[in-house]
Amino acid sequence: MILTVTLNPAVDHTIKLDGPLEAGSVNRAGLDQYDAGGKGINVSKYLDALGVETTSTGLVGGLFGDFVERQLRRTKIPNDFVEMSGCTRLNTTILSTDGEYKINQSGHRVKRRTVQAIIEKIRTYDPETVVVAGSLPPGLGATTVDRIATAGNWNTVVDLQGALLKRLRVPYALCKPNRSELATATGMPTGSVEECCAAARELRASGFERVVASLGSDGAVLATRDDVLYVPAPDAEVVDTAGAGDALLASVLKASAEGNSPREVVQYGVAVAARAVEAPGTTVPSLSDVCEDARLLSVEPQ
């Protein structure tokens, strides 16, 4: 079972405008959508859709925390959260004809002793893999993630900001940075695919068994002890990039757990992520025939 930990979840509010975003005027929305969000929650959504046993935990509170729990129950995503005193944050994405705008709140300050309640919650499920993903709320840092990773006999996977990846001090099974996080974590350039491959190789050697880096419209790269593999992104009608990295991570975890080769793992991850960008918000799109899409993707050893 794969258990995801979202220490700073959110209600994802997606607004789609019929024209450009204009200052000083009333902007009318053609779409107004609310989703239970946060990277770990999104990973659990995709794992569940892909048929992988999962449970989502983390910290919730207030009106938006109630919404997160209600929506996950409604969509039958297994979850078991720890209540906190503050309110869960609201993240807003504005989709307009002139671009994509994101406004993310920092979240409520969390006391370090609250982390022990999370650890006890994880232990009750005895998972094979724990995924710690997303931003951390004020008051928590890299030592919190290290503490979770060493609290039980599970493999730990991280999807964190680049500055946090640099400060982790214990080994991890896998990490999933995006392009900018990869640059921050390594101090290396990531402008080209070749540079991203070199940075992924460097990051892997710093304490991660594997690194899968999402490169947006360029696709993804997987670095293992033996190989660095690059898969270009297929053509897709991009509606919203929110959740694409989470889709990549979930599908990589599924394919890896099933014993697929590194080549098949990264192909499958990119194919699922390509489906994710074609849907607004973080709602999971149809994944029918995605295995066939994956087999058609080229793999370029680096």
Provide the annotated active-site residues: 246
DSSP state for residue 232 in the 8-state scheme: P
Which pair of tokens denotes residue 224? 């293992």
Rounded CA-CA distance 197/186 in Å is: 12
Structural contact between residues 92 and 236, judged by C-beta atoms closer than 8 angstroms: no
Instruction: Name the region of 248 (left: φ>0; alpha: ψ -120 to 50; beta: rest).
Output: alpha
Answer yes or no: are the C-beta atoms of 115 and 140 closer than 8 Å: yes
Residue 287, amino acid: L
Residue 248 φ/ψ, nearest 5 degrees:
-60, -50
User: Which residues, 6+ apart, have CB-to-CB distance to 146 below 8 Å?
Assistant: 168, 169, 170
* Separation CA 38–CA 23 (nearest Å): 28
Rounded Cα distance between 170 and 159, Å, is 15
- The residues near 11 (Cβ < 8 Å, ≥ 6 apart) are 34, 35, 36, 37, 64, 67, 68, 88, 89, 90, 91
Beta bridge partner(s), residue 175: 158, 211
Between CA 221 and CA 197 the distance in angstroms is: 7
With a CB cutoff of 8 Å and minimum separation 6, the contacts of 64 are 10, 11, 87, 88, 89, 90
